[in-house]
């Protein structure tokens, strides 16, 4: 296991910067931020650098950054945490996943999260496409009062989300509600709280996904 990074030392700071730029592919995000304002109070983006946090804090008057990757000992996170503290922005670690059906507890906690944080806020994952898309959909539904079939536009190619791969499990999760919960007259929250079967949704997706993959291979599609 690698030694912890100490960004209070010149060597540690250099190591953290290398981790951000090269280990975490920050060089790809130097010019492309996948930054979008999705409401008057909420932004979504890919992993911000310390310099980008400084700009966002000033230009958007940010009060909260929601880190959807979870806390980490890696350099990108340590530098982000330091930058948020330096600019008076609260950093909230709220981990979600891009290739798994969300936990019931996570979805319900997201509603509470959006009610208690200070705004304006920015949420981000690594690329700003999948985990940010999941949470942006939940934000637009829970706080923006959009129906799920409208809010799920946050999971689209516009934000670099591709539903044809395993990240399509996020789309399939919302599909399950629209297919089962909404026709039964259940609100999305009630469906998640009382009906949603995470394992069943995941298994149904994987069965359909593998079947499609096998057909594509049979037809020699790329």
**94-125 pLDDT, tens digit each:** 999 999 999 999 999 999 999 999 999 999 99
- Burial (Cβ within 10 Å: 0-12, 13-18, ≥19) of residue 91: middle
Average pLDDT, the chain: 93
Q: 134: which 2 tokens?
A: 């999941």
Give the model confidence (pLDDT) of 57-84 as tens digits: 999 999 999 999 999 999 999 999 999 9
- Burial (Cβ within 10 Å: 0-12, 13-18, ≥19) of residue 221: exposed
Q: Name residue, tokens 């030392």.
A: 9
| Nearest alpha carbon to residue 160 among 118, 191, 180, 132 | 132
pLDDT score for 219: 32
> Alpha-carbon distance 206 to 193, whole Å?
23
pLDDT score for 37: 98
65, 122 in Cβ contact below 8 A? yes
Output the pTM of the full model.
0.92
> Alpha-carbon distance 170 to 175, whole Å?
9
Does pLDDT of 215 surpass 80?
no
For the chain, list the domains and their CATH numbers: 10-160 (3.90.190.10)
pLDDT score for 211: 47
Q: Largest Cα–Cα distance in the chain?
A: 60
pLDDT score for 83: 98
pLDDT score for 212: 55
pLDDT bin (cut points 50, 70, 90) of residue 3 is: confident
């Amino acid at each position: 296991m690698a030694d912890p990074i100490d960004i209070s030392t010149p060597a540690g700071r250099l190591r953290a910067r290398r981790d951000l730029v090269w280990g975490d592919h920050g060089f790809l995000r130097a010019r492309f931020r996948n930054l979008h304002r999705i409401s008057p109070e909420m932004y979504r983006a890919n992993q911000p650098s310390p310099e980008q946090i400084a700009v966002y804090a000033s230009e958007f008057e940010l009060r909260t950054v929601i880190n959807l990757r979870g806390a980490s000992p890696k350099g990108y996170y340590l530098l982000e945490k330091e930058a948020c503290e330096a600019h008076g922005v609260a950093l909230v670690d709220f981990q979600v996943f891009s290739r798994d059906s969300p936990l019931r507890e996570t979805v319900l906690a997201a509603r509470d999260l959006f009610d208690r944080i200070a705004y304006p806020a920015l949420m981000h994952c690594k690329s700003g496409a999948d985990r940010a898309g999941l949470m942006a959909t939940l934000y637009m539904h829970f706080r923006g009062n959009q129906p799920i079939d409208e809010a799920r536009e946050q999971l689209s190619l516009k934000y670099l989300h591709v539903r044809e791969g395993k990240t399509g499990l996020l789309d399939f999760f919302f599909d399950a509600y629209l297919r089962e919960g909404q026709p039964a007259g259940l609100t999305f929250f009630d469906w998640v709280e009382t009906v949603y079967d995470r394992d069943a949704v995941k298994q149904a997706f994987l069965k359909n996904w593998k079947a499609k993959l096998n057909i594509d291979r049979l037809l020699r599609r790329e």
